[in-house]
Structure 1
Amino acid sequence: NRDKVNAFNNEIGPLLTINPEVERFNSNLRSRASAEFQKRKNQCLSENAFFRAINVSPNDVPYKVPVPTVKKKQVPHPGVKRQEYKPYPSMDDRMYVDILQTLYRAGQAMERKPSTYINKDEEALRDLFIFRLEDRYDSATVTGETFNFGGKTDICLKDSATNANLFIAECKIWHGPKAFGEAIDQLFDRYLTVRDSKVALMFFVAGNEFNSVLETIKQEAPKHKYFASYKGKREQSSFSYMFHLPTDLEQKVFLEIMAFHFPKA
């Protein structure tokens, strides 16, 4: 009898202790799982709301970069042979508009959040704009400080397949009308080739006379030697122009000039 009692206590006794604990655990399992699920769900909803607030929609633009087949062109002059051009990637106008809208919205969002621009230099501000473009287009890559022609461009968007330039942007701290003209000179004289047709200049204004800066841009841009035509105001501080290359009056370039107010204090 003693051995029987001992065997029972050794084999069955622990189960009598463990079973109530297991039952308590199992009874709370559904509520614990629901709580963990709800916690993770709320986290995802919060992240989605944040990205919607800053207008981040990665890879939501279905535009592809068309590569047109250019036929031989008959030059209407006697004695001149037909000239053959190789196909070169060209960016869809809708994609160009989307790039400009993305950059402008990024600048607007930064204006509302001083911590994103205070104590940051031109390169640091440029990187924030690159961040908004980096993963937006499946068929293109975005780089900073990219060598092109005679210098390094601040922002360069390239066709992923051919590595051809699609879009170039230059970022500058606003230093007045004279520096404004020099910035256009730098972009057109040093960075653009005959293959570059869609570009932008982005100015970061630290002073308090922001509206005065916008008026200066509208007055000085038509005076530039490469100016061709004014295409209109796209946004409150974003202006569309047509310029031409220094070496070819007929080679037109879409130039968007943007300004953002990033005061020092």
Structure 2
Amino acid sequence: MIIREDFRSVETWLLRLESYAAAFEQNNVSDWSHLKNKEDFDRVYSLPASQRSKFEAIYMTGRDLAVAMSSRLTEFNWIQKFPSLKSFVDSFSHGWVNQIDLLEAEAATAEAEAAQLSNCPWSVSQMIKLYRAQISLLGHVAQCLEALRKSDLYIAESGLMQSSPKAMKYDAVLQCIHSVGKMFERLPATYLNKDEETLRDHMLVSLEAAVGGSVTGETFNKRGKTDILVRNEGNTCFVGECKFWAGSAGFQSTIDQLLSYLSWRDTNTALIFFVKNKEFTSIISKADEAARTHRLCIKKLGSSDETWSSFEFSHPDDPQRIIKVAVMLYHLP
């Protein structure tokens, strides 16, 4: 697809949306129709209405989603309908992308009903898998739209002025990480069993669109490889470490690891923890306690969210040098 000239600065993201549209189109034309009409779906009509309705809903909603997204995701080239990038991105504000939680609930209901059947129709089990795959795809669409909202073009069309890179960098990075972390929590099935590197890479993709400068992962800085490194004009603006929660002792060793990566000029950092434990509230308290009692912690600055707090630490090689450390936790049970 040829992207219209005025959208060339965000071409990468729009081409990705176009590829997602093609996947939805394939589902609509081939998969949903085949499973409904060429397999054993007619067996559901012998089931009680209460059970049958759950499977019919999977088909109807799943195919409606495929039909809608196969066309909507490529309409950015239609200048009569969307004269600006902002008008296109904002058009998704009240549609399928914001109904992922409802789609997850519908899928879970159908799965529970299917589990009750002694001999579930093969087409039903495949429809549920296809439905789940489309939810995952919709999550990636949401990520693309979020990246477009952070683009210079969208911001300019919104009439907003960006702060200078050095002034806005740290806060912008943290806000972007927090948005992606909350997306992980909203879409648990999409990110189920993903490893640390995969979750980090999702954050890197969003950060590349949200902030200027160089955004890299697994990059050498001073004494080791840090998970997230943001540089601008030759200066390190941000250093971040991503870990799965492994207890308070592991938390403090991660702080030591992060601080060991910092040169004297590196002062803006974050520890991002993915928490599998069910009792998430207690983990938040333990993390706060572990940060405050670390030997290099100076003070807690405050909290921007229930799971995001900021601290001041002294540099291990220079007690007078202050390091800002954001501690951010996200629940992935």
TM-score by length of 2: 0.55
| Residue number among 119, 125, 139 corresponding to 2:193 in the alignment | 119
Matched, 1:97 2:165: no
CA shift digits 1:60-112 (9 cap, x unpaired): 472323xxxxxxxxxxxxxxxxxxxxxxxxx31x3322221111011101111
Task: Give, in whole Å, the separation in 1 of the partners of 2:164 and 2:300.
Answer: 28
Aligned-residue Cα RMSD (Å) equals 2.2
Who is 2:228 aligned against? Answer: 155
Task: Give, in whole Å, the separation in 1 of the partners of 2:316 and 2:146.
Answer: 37
TM-score by length of 1: 0.68
Larger Rg: 1
The CA deviation at 1:135 is: 2.2
Task: Give, in whole Å, the separation in 2 of the partners of 1:134 and 1:155.
Answer: 11
CA shift digits 1:204-255 (9 cap, x unpaired): 0011011010000111111101101110011110001011110111100110
Who is 2:276 aligned against? Answer: 206
Structure 2's unaligned 5+ residue stretches are 1-70, 77-81, 98-140, 156-160
CA shift digits 1:133-161 (9 cap, x unpaired): 012233x11000010111000000011x3
Task: Give, in whole Å, the separation in 2 of the partners of 1:111 and 1:40.
Answer: 26
Q: Letter of the 2:197 partner, please give it.
A: E
Structure showing the higher helix proportion among its residues? 2
Identity across matched positions, percent: 34
The CA deviation at 1:115 is: 3.1
Task: Give, in whole Å, the separation in 1 of the partners of 2:247 and 2:309.
Answer: 17
Matched, 1:43 2:75: yes
CA contact (8 A) 2:169 2:211 kept: no
Matched, 1:137 2:169: no
Q: Letter of the 2:163 partner, please give it.
A: Y
Count matched residues. 195
Who is 1:178 aligned against? Answer: 249
Who is 1:20 aligned against? Answer: none
Helix, strand or coil for the counterpart of 1:55? helix
Q: Letter of the 1:169 partner, please give it.
A: G
Q: Letter of the 2:146 partner, please give it.
A: N
The CA deviation at 1:42 is: 7.5
Task: Give, in whole Å, the separation in 1 of the partners of 2:191 and 2:72.
Answer: 32
CA contact (8 A) 2:173 2:210 kept: no
Task: Give, in whole Å, the separation in 2 of the partners of 1:192 and 1:137.
Answer: 21
Helix, strand or coil for the counterpart of 2:182? helix
Helix, strand or coil for the counterpart of 1:115? coil
CA shift digits 1:173-209 (9 cap, x unpaired): 00001100000011112x1110101000000001101
- Classify 1:62/1:172 alpha carbon distance in 2 versus 1 (closer, same or farther; 3 Å): same
Helix, strand or coil for the counterpart of 2:218? strand
Task: Give, in whole Å, the separation in 1 of the partners of 2:246 and 2:255.
Answer: 13
The CA deviation at 1:47 is: 6.5
Helix, strand or coil for the counterpart of 1:192? coil
Who is 1:8 aligned against? Answer: none
